[in-house]
Amino acid sequence: MPAYIVFIKEREHDAAAMATYSAAAGPSLGGHTAKPLAYYGAIETLEGPEALGSVIVEFPTIEEARAWYQSDAYQTARAHRFAGADYRVFITQGL
């Protein structure tokens, strides 16, 4: 069953750290079966706090999504995201 990792950017406070994150996050998907579905396109917030950006990545299973998120390559990239912005991130199972 497919799974999706959803990133919701709530606030950015260091553009340089985010540029470093962006340069490392995409390549960290190498070797993983992942399909980006949304990447910082237009957003219309309908409920809740305004989102500044969002990313949705599809994986074949929750386990594979978790394996990518916990990979050394992504953990290195993630440190720059933590320095650069506040996000909500979750994995959800698809149908």
State the Cα–Cα distance between residues 36 and 34, nearest whole angstrom: 7
Residue 43 pLDDT: 94
- Residues paired with residue 29 on neighbouring β-strands, in sequence order: none
Name the average pLDDT for the chain: 97
65, 89 contact by CB (below 8 A): no
pTM value? 0.93
Question: What CATH topology corresponds to 3-93?
Answer: Alpha-Beta Plaits (3.30.70)
Residue 42 pLDDT: 95
Residue 80 pLDDT: 98
The single-letter code of the amino acid at 13 is H
Give per-residue pLDDT as tens, 43-95. 999 999 999 999 999 999 999 999 999 999 999 999 999 999 999 999 999 99
